[in-house]
Amino acid sequence: MVFTPQQLSQIHTCLVEAEERLSRFYRFAPREWFSYSYDLLTVRDLPAALTFPVAGVLAEVVKGPSPSTTRTSFPFGVESLYRILLFDRNILLSMERLPDVRFDRFMLYILTHELIHIVRFTHSVDFHLPPAAKTREEKKVHALTGQVLESLDDRSLGRIARLYSTSGEYSL
C-alpha cells in the first residue's frame, strides 16, 4: 500500500503550502532554510529491507544523512540535516478511519507538524529529549500545528489535532 503518483503530487503541493504558512507564522525570510535543511521521503525512497513501524506511526523526523536512501520523490538537497519519513501504508490506513477528512488536508496537517518539529529542533529544542519532555514537546507541536492552520477554518483539521494530540495511539 503506497501513495499513488497523484497522491505524491498532492503531497508536494501540501509541502509547499505548509512551508509558506510556516514562513508567515515564524516570519522567515522567503525560503530561508527550508530548501536545504530537510528531505521528504516516502516508502518508495526507502530501502526495501527497512522494517516499517507499527500502524500508529504516520511520520517521523530523522536526523543526519543516510547514504542508503535514494531520494527520488523530493530531492531538495544532498546534505540535508533532517529527513521527514512518511509511512504511506499507515497514513492511508489511518485515513480510512477519517472518512470526512480530505487527503490533502490530512497531509497538510502531517507535513506542517513535521516541519514545526524541524524548526524547533533547529532553533531551540534538543533532538534527543527524555520521554516526559518528548510528550510535552509533542503536545506543543500539535498545538502550534493547530495555530498555523487555524486560518483555514477547517473543522476536520481541528478534529485531527484533538485526536492526535490526546491519543497515544498515533505518532507523528
Which of the stretches 37-45, 69-77, 78-86, 138-146 binds Zn ion when contact is defined by CB under 5 A?
138-146
CA distance 164 to 97: 13
**Closest distance to Zn ion from the beta carbon of 117 (Å):** 5
Residue with cell 522567503: 30
Sheet containing 59-63, strands listed edge to edge, beginning at the edge strand earlier in sequence: 38-41, 82-86, 59-63
**Closest distance to Zn ion from the beta carbon of 160 (Å):** 13
DSSP-assigned letter for residue 146: H
* Total binding residues toward Zn ion, as defined by CB under 5 A: 3
Instruction: Compare residues 19 and 138 and give the one whose CB is closer to Zn ion.
Output: 138
If one counts every other C-beta atom within 10 angstroms of the C-beta of residue 88, the result is: 20
Which of the stretches 17-25, 87-95, 146-154, 164-172 binds Zn ion when contact is defined by CB under 5 A?
164-172
Which of the stretches 4-12, 85-93, 133-141, 156-164 binds Zn ion when contact is defined by CB under 5 A?
133-141
If one counts every other C-beta atom within 10 angstroms of the C-beta of residue 26, the result is: 14
Residues 57-116 that bind Zn ion (CB under 5 A): none
Instruction: Compare residues 49 and 132 and give the one whose CB is closer to Zn ion.
Output: 132
CA distance 107 to 113: 10
Instruction: Compare residues 31 and 135 and give the one whose CB is closer to Zn ion.
Output: 135
**Closest distance to Zn ion from the beta carbon of 116 (Å):** 8
- Backbone phi, psi, residue 61, to 5°: -105, 130
> What burial letters (b/e) apply to 157-170, b meaning 16+ CB within 10 Å?
beebbebbbeeeeb
**Closest distance to Zn ion from the beta carbon of 141 (Å):** 5
The gap from C-alpha 165 to its chain's centroid, in whole angstroms, comes to 14
**Closest distance to Zn ion from the beta carbon of 161 (Å):** 12
Instruction: Compare residues 119 and 141 and give the one whose CB is closer to Zn ion.
Output: 141
Binding site for Zn ion (CB under 5 A): 138, 141, 172
